[in-house]
Amino acid sequence: MASGAGGHSLSAPLVPSRLCTGCEKKLEITTGHWFFRDSKPTGYCRTCRAKIKTQHDGPYGWVPAEKVRPLLSELVSRCGGITATSEASGLSETAIREVVGRKRPRVQKKTVRLVVLALYERRKVDRMNGGNKNYLEARKKQAKLEDNINRLAGY
């Protein structure tokens, strides 16, 4: 029911068409070709919108390396070395060294995904084995250090 739409009617005998801002194709105004907002078709056709979406949200973009470094560092601690991390994640040793060593300003989303997946797997394994000793030791030391800093700061 398109009542109260201000007199505009899409129920003309001939289906009206509209020019897409993206691909500049003239497409019939149907839900198959367009998305509608307030019962009006949006500027880009469905095909173009899908393309835009993959470009921005798809696994092809880049993210700052800062975002993945803590995860990758954890993975390296848990695996116990760069080579083991490379085997676990599928990333090259060079890539791992560069991200951890802050030599790379950004990484591909694909890389983030590989790190997250490998870390997820590794955490699961570590949980089943009662925790990676080295990693837990490192965490304990870090916690103690932070504790000392807090105490010094008077918290």
Instruction: Name the residues that contact Zn ion, by CB under 5 A.
Output: 20, 22-23, 45, 48
Compute the least distance from the CB of residue 49 to Zn ion, in Å.
8
Q: Nearest 5°: phi and psi at 106?
A: -145, 160
> Residue 93 in contact with residue 84, Cβ under 8 Å?
no
Helix (H, G, I), strand (E, B) or coil at 29: coil
Q: Which is nearer to Zn ion, 20 or 112 (CB)?
A: 20
Of 24 and 38, the one with the shorter C-beta distance to Zn ion is: 24
Residue 9 CB, shortest distance to Zn ion, in Å, is 24
For Zn ion, which is the closer residue by CB, 5 or 23? 23
Rounded to a whole number of angstroms, the minimum distance from the CB of residue 71 to Zn ion is: 38
Q: How far is the CB of 111 from Zn ion (least distance, A)?
A: 31
Q: Which is nearer to Zn ion, 45 or 112 (CB)?
A: 45
37 three-state secondary structure: strand
Least spacing, CB of residue 20 vs Zn ion, in Å: 3
Rounded to whole angstroms, how far apart are CA atoms 137 and 134? 5
How do beta strands 36-37 and 40-41 pair? antiparallel
The residue among 56 and 151 lying less far from Zn ion, judged by its C-beta, is 56
CA of 99: how far to CAs of 57, 90, 108, 117, 149, in Å?
Answer: 22, 14, 11, 17, 28
Residue 60 Cα distances to 7, 51, 56, 93, angstroms? 44, 12, 8, 21
